[in-house]
Amino acid sequence: MTPPAVPDGTKVLWRALAGAAVVLLALLGGSGAAQAHDALEATSPADGSSVATAPHVVTLTMSNTPAAIGAEVKVLDAAGTNWSEGAVSVLDNVATQAVKPGAPAGKYTVQWRLVSSDSHPVEGQFTFTAKAAAAGSGAVAGPAESIQAPSAAAAQAAPDGGGVPWSVFGLMGVLVVVVVAMVGVARKRLKASD
């Protein structure tokens, strides 16, 4: 009886590398969907729109329900005065920020930062213009705080900080060890059959 044919070392190596590539592609391809963060779907007032009077609330509609903890929405007038009042409230996928009574007419920039449903922060900004001041209740409320005009860097959405999760690197390391072990076993079998 003849011994079973042993494939040469090159074939074994290529098969091992092909298997490792398939596993790696499966891991990296599957992590792409997990890295997607919630996205802003709509705002009220709409980005770039003009409204009759300064609104009483500003809303952001997200693709998924964000966390209320860590949420921040600033409603800034042209001078950089923040007209936000109280904490951001989140109901389903809508984040709502109250605006102080007496907000003046003019252009507003809304800077927002929410915690995505995947626990990563997402942020951005949008603008709208109020043609008239908001109706106040008696005395006009003053600003909560004054900040500098937003810089160009703050105007851009924050990078998601996602990238490839560390677990993928760990799995890649394990995969490399397995491939090296397979090549070592294949070489020993080839030497034994000679």
Q: Which residues are CB-neighbours of 189 under 8 A, at least 6 positions away?
A: 6
Mean pLDDT of successive 10-residue stretches along the chain, which has 194 residues: 60 70 62 64 95 95 90 95 95 94 95 90 95 67 39 42 55 77 79 74
DSSP H or E run through 89? strand 84-91
pLDDT at residue 185, as a whole number? 80
Query: Residue 142: helix, strand or coil by DSSP?
Result: coil
pTM beyond 0.85: no
Look up residue 166 and give its two tokens: 């560390």
pLDDT at residue 186, as a whole number? 76
Exposure letters 118-153 (e unless 16+ CB within 10 A, then b): eeebbebbbebebeeebeeeeeebebeeeeeeeeee
